[in-house]
Amino acid sequence: MASHKENEAWKEADLAEDRSFRPTRAPGSRRKAPFYKVLQGMPIAVDAFRYGTIPGVTAYFLTHAHSDHYTNLASNWKSGPIYCSADTANLIIHMLSVDSKWVHPLPMDVPTIVPDSGGVTVTLIEANHCPGSCLFLFEGPQTVHAGDSAFKSPFVGSGKAFRYLHCGDFRASPQHVMHPAVKGKQIDHVYLDTTYLDPKYTFPPQPLVISACAELAKRIVSGERVGAPDTNGKRNSTMDAWVIPSERADETVIKQPKDRMLVVVGTYSIGKERIVKAIAQALKTKIYCDAHKTAILRCQSDPELHALLTKDPCEACVHVVPLSMIVSDKLKAYVQRFNGIYSRAVGFRPTGWTYTPPSGSDLSPPISSIISRGQSRSFTHADLKPMQKSTFAVQMYGVPYSEHSSFFELTCFAMSCDWVKMIATVNVGNERSRMKMAKWVERWEIDKKRCKEAMVKPRAADYW
C-alpha cells in the first residue's frame, strides 16, 4: 500500500474502531474490522474475534489467550475455524467454553497448509510472551479481497507469493530472527507488537531479571542480610532505608522454623510463570495457587511446572496471587492467613511499567547508540529495590519484567530481519502515536540499508 493509501486506510480503521459503536441485533450490524486485522489478499484474520463474521474470511487465527486478543470469543462462536497453538486451544476451551469443534491446534515450527485459504501455509513460532503464545508466518498467494476495508490489493490473482509475519504479542529475541522460517527470507509485511515502541521503555533483558528475582528470594529466605556492607565498608542503603531497626531480626531468630518466609508473586491470568518457576526452583520448594489459577496452569504443556504445583498452601513457599494483591495491607492480610506457618512475606510485583528512565535521557538517540546502550545493560538482584511501605515483615519488590519487547529489542529485531513493511498493531488509536512510531520504523529502514551486518550480534541465545 502506498503511503497516501495507507493514511486513508488508517483513517478508515479509526472509524471502524469508534469506541461509541454498539452493535445492534439487526442483521449485518457488526463492528467493521480495520485493515490490519485481515491479511492483505488472504482470507485470514488474526486476533479479530470482536468483529464477528468478517466478509470473505475463512480462517480465524489467535496468537495467544490474552483477553485483548480474543475479545468477543465465547461459547457462542460460530463464525469459522479458529487456528492457534495447542496450549492456546486448551486455554480458550477451558476459560471461554469455546466449542472444541471450531478449535484447531496447529504444530509449532513446521509449515502447515491452512484449509480453504487458497494455498497459504502457516508456521507457528514461539513468541516468548505468555504460555501458548506464538508468531504466525504466513506464506502464499493473494487470492481474495477479504475483510471490510475499501482498499483492494492489486496483487490478488497475480500468483505472486507473499510472506507475512504476524507477531501478536512478543518479546523479540535472537531466536525469532534465527528461526529457519524467518532467517534469510524476505518478509513483505511484519505485523508488529508496538506496545513499547518508544525509547523511554528500556527495561533489562528478561532472563537476567528472572535470575535476579530467584537470587534475591534465595538470599532473603536464607536470612542473608541483603543490605550487607558493600566493599567500601559502607552499608548498602537499599534495605536500611526501610528496615525498621527495632524490627530487625537476629540471624538466630531467622533460623527458627516459625520464622518461615513466604514468597508471593503477583501475576495476571496467564503470563510471568517463568519468574514463579525460577524462584521455586531456586528455593527448592513447591508452588501454590488457587484452584482457578491451577486449572489455567494445567492447560499449559509444561510438565516441569505441573510437577511443582501443590494444593497445600503450607507445603509451598511460593504462592501465586493476582497482581493487585502485591500491596502492603493486602499482602500483610494474606500472610496472616497462614499465621504460625509463615511469619513474613516477600512480594514480587512484575510489571513492564516499573522502570523509570533516568531524567535527562536522550529520547531520540541514533540507532547505533540504542543498540550499544541496550547491549551494555546488566541486571542483578542488587538492582531490585524494595517498594515504599515495605517493612521487615512484608517486603515488596517491583520487578521491571515485561513479556513484550523493549524498545531496544524491537530495534534489534527490526535490524536483524529482512522486511519490506512494518505494520503497527498496538497504540494505533491516534494519529500522533502512529506518526511517532512511523518515524522509528523509517529510521530502522534507513539504518538497515546503511548497515552491513545481517543481524545485531546477540549477547546470549535468548537475548540481545
Residues found near Zn ion in the complex (CB under 5 A): 66, 169
Closer to Zn ion by Cβ: residue 169 or 409 = 169
Closer to Zn ion by Cβ: residue 62 or 122 = 62
Closer to Zn ion by Cβ: residue 133 or 202 = 133
- Dihedrals phi, psi of 321, to nearest 5 degrees: -135, 165
The amino acid that residue 232 corresponds to is N
Closer to Zn ion by Cβ: residue 143 or 405 = 405
Closer to Zn ion by Cβ: residue 66 or 189 = 66
Closest distance to Zn ion from the beta carbon of 463 (Å): 19
Closest distance to Zn ion from the beta carbon of 14 (Å): 23
Give the number of other CB atoms < 10 A from CB of residue 263: 29
Closest distance to Zn ion from the beta carbon of 232 (Å): 43
CA atoms of 210 and 379, how far apart (whole Å): 10
Closer to Zn ion by Cβ: residue 66 or 434 = 66
The enclosing H or E element of 13 equals helix 3-16
Closest distance to Zn ion from the beta carbon of 415 (Å): 24
- Residues facing residue 109 across a β-bridge: none
Buried b (16+ CB within 10 A) or exposed e, 2-30: eeeebebbbebbeebeeeeeeeeeeeeeb
Closest distance to Zn ion from the beta carbon of 212 (Å): 23
Closest distance to Zn ion from the beta carbon of 267 (Å): 13
Unique residue bearing C-alpha cell 501443590: 310
- Check residue 15 and report its DSSP letter: H
In this structure, are strands 121-126 and 134-141 parallel, antiparallel, or unpaired?
A: antiparallel
Cell of 195: 506496545
**323 class by beta-carbon count within 10 Å (0-12 exposed, 13-18 middle, 19+ buried):** middle
Give strand ranges (E) for 34-150.
44-46, 59-61, 82-85, 103-106, 112-113, 121-126, 134-141
Closest distance to Zn ion from the beta carbon of 205 (Å): 19
Closest distance to Zn ion from the beta carbon of 48 (Å): 15
Closest distance to Zn ion from the beta carbon of 385 (Å): 27
In this structure, are strands 134-141 and 161-166 parallel, antiparallel, or unpaired?
A: antiparallel
Instruction: With both helix axes pointing from N to C terminus, report the angle between 273-283 and 206-221 in degrees, rounded to the nearest 10.
Output: 40
Cell of 317: 513457599
Closest distance to Zn ion from the beta carbon of 115 (Å): 27
Closest distance to Zn ion from the beta carbon of 271 (Å): 7
Q: Of the candidates 361, 267, 356, which has an alpha carbon nearest to the alpha carbon of residue 66? A: 267
Closer to Zn ion by Cβ: residue 133 or 143 = 133
Closer to Zn ion by Cβ: residue 62 or 326 = 62
- Residues facing residue 287 across a β-bridge: 309, 318
CA atoms of 83 and 89, how far apart (whole Å): 8
Q: Of the candidates 381, 372, 329, 74, which has an alpha carbon nearest to the alpha carbon of residue 212? A: 381
Unique residue bearing C-alpha cell 476459560: 95
The enclosing H or E element of 305 equals helix 303-308
Closer to Zn ion by Cβ: residue 170 or 348 = 170
Closer to Zn ion by Cβ: residue 269 or 310 = 269
- Residues facing residue 49 across a β-bridge: none
Identify the three-state secondary structure at position 264: strand
Closer to Zn ion by Cβ: residue 145 or 404 = 404
